[in-house]
């Protein structure tokens, strides 16, 4: 099985939806910590939780508890601190694992940063995938 990640960056909402549909995504887990101030209004949680299920048959879950709390550091240090925090957060990871096991289709972790190598979602996806025996695909 595969576990996907995507960062919308400066892409349009329709582009992201097309990518999700082409890859058979059935559930979006939004892992942005500050997802209420999205630069592009179409990526606000209120918009995503209404439009994705009703217009595209894609579920939406706000998982801001998985957001990167260490953004006041250099990129490298931020990601290291985040990984250390995540690995010490077994209850959260186990909850995510449980939810993903219940899904009937493919799942994606969504964040704003387009480049997965610069984003904490890569760390989340790799840890969850390791525990579930999945592979990670960055869209």
Q: How far is CA 12 from CA 67, 109, 123, in A?
A: 22, 17, 25
Give the N- to C-terminal CA distance of the chain in Å, as an integer.
15
Q: Alpha-carbon distance 116 to 113, whole Å?
A: 7
Give pLDDT tens digits for 37-71: 555 556 777 778 888 999 999 999 999 899 999 99
Give pLDDT tens digits for 3-27: 999 999 888 889 999 999 999 999 9
> In the chain, what are the domain boundaries?
2-138
What is the number of alpha carbons within 13 Å of residue 124 lying toward its C-beta?
31
Is the predicted pLDDT of residue 82 greater than 90, yes or no?
yes
Q: How many CB atoms lie within 10 A of CB 94?
A: 12
Which SS3 state, helix, strand or coil, does residue 110 take? Answer: strand
CATH of domain 2-138: 3.40.1010
- 85 near 92, Cβ under 8 Å? no
What pLDDT, on the 0 to 100 scale, is given for residue 40?
Answer: 54
Does the global pTM surpass 0.85? yes
């Amino acid at each position: 099985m595969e576990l996907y990640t995507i960062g919308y960056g400066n892409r349009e909402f329709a582009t992201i939806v097309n990518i999700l549909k082409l890859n058979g995504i059935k559930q979006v887990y939004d892992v942005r910590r500050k997802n209420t101030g999205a630069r592009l209004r179409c990526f606000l949680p209120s918009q995503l939780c209404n439009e994705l299920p009703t217009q595209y048959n894609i579920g939406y879950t706000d998982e801001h508890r998985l957001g990167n709390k260490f953004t006041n550091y250099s990129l490298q240090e931020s990601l290291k601190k985040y990984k250390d925090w995540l690995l010490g957060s077994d209850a959260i990871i186990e909850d995510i694992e449980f939810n993903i096991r219940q899904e009937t289709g493919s799942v994606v972790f969504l964040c704003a940063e387009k480049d997965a190598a610069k984003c904490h979602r890569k760390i989340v996806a790799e840890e969850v995938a390791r525990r579930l025996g999945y592979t990670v695909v960055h869209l």
